[in-house]
Amino acid sequence: AEAPVVVAEEPDETPAEARASEALLLKEERVALQQALAWYGFYQGGLDGAFGKGTRGSMAAWQEANGYEPTGILTSRQRATLVGNYQADQTEFGFSTQSVAEAGIEITLPLSLVEFTGYEPPFVRFDAVNGSELTILLISEPGGAEALSGLYDILQTLEAVPPGGERSKGEDSFTPPAGGPGVESYAYAATAKGMVKGYLAIWNPADADRMARILPVLKSSFRPVGDKALDPGLVPMEDAL
């Protein structure tokens, strides 16, 4: 399915009209809006249906990101677009929260596009299915700043993560530049509690619109959990047979 396209246009309601129509929403409809805002990384608060400062700020951020005036009060049409896109993403991409105990990582992945294929320390591989041309590698290994720096060097040997271009690299986290010959990528890794954890997504540049809907989910859902990192001595499944 084609990704929903949001085109900036004149508001369908004034702020006063939008607030009036919003007042008619049922609690479950208000919670659904918070859930959609959270899914796309705009909201981090509780799903309580109360539109306080945090919810208003997230609404304004969503409006600004989609070319609307950031009033913090969604119009009827904007609410329908936000929730409609969220529901379409759930159906199309098969999003599911994955808790990978061996790696100590929790993340929501599009399981209609990728599937678990094995361990290749420091990576947990989720490779393309259904012709998606999407690969997601979860990153997990023991170590601190030195291990993080070594991982940074390793990632830059991949065609999807070129050595040039803009990047962000600190003592405890990094985001390498994206893009390569016929491929785009996004990587993030950080070190904490003596472990390095992160993820790398690689996709076909032709799928930019689809990835614009998937990346916010990866970014907002990624979470290191527990006190375990992937064992560097863990062999790929086929080698263990």
What are the pLDDT digits (tens) for 49-58?
Answer: 999 999 999 9
> Which ranges in the chain belong to alpha helices (H)?
15-22, 27-39, 53-65, 76-93, 145-155, 208-221, 237-240
Q: Which residue has the higher pLDDT, 15 or 3?
A: 15
Q: Which residue has the higher pLDDT, 132 or 6?
A: 132
The model's confidence at residue 223, banded by pLDDT at 50, 70 and 90, is very high
| 8 Å CB contact between 65 and 19 | no
C-alpha triplet 92, 95, 97: angle, nearest 5°: 175
pTM of the model: 0.70
Cα torsion 25, 28, 34, 38: sign: negative
**pLDDT over 90 at 39, yes or no:** no
Q: Can you tell me whether residue 184 is helix, strand or coil? A: strand
Cβ atoms < 10 Å from Cβ of 107: 25
What are the pLDDT digits (tens) for 115-173?
Answer: 999 998 889 999 999 999 999 999 998 987 777 777 777 776 666 565 544 445 555 55
- How far CA 141 is from CA of 171, 195, 222, in Å, comes to 16, 6, 16
Cα torsion 210, 217, 232, 196: sign: positive
What are the pLDDT digits (tens) for 68-106?
Answer: 999 999 999 999 999 998 898 888 899 999 999 999 999
CA-based nearest residue to 90, from 143, 48, 40: 40
| 8 Å CB contact between 123 and 135 | no
pLDDT of residue 37: 93
pLDDT of residue 234: 75
CA-based nearest residue to 230, from 147, 130, 157: 147
pLDDT of residue 165: 43
Rounded Cα distance between 144 and 203, Å, is 29
pLDDT of residue 186: 86
Q: What is the DSSP string of 88-141?
A: HHHHHH-EEEEEETTTTEEEEEETTTEEEEEEETTEEEEEE-TT---EEEEEEE
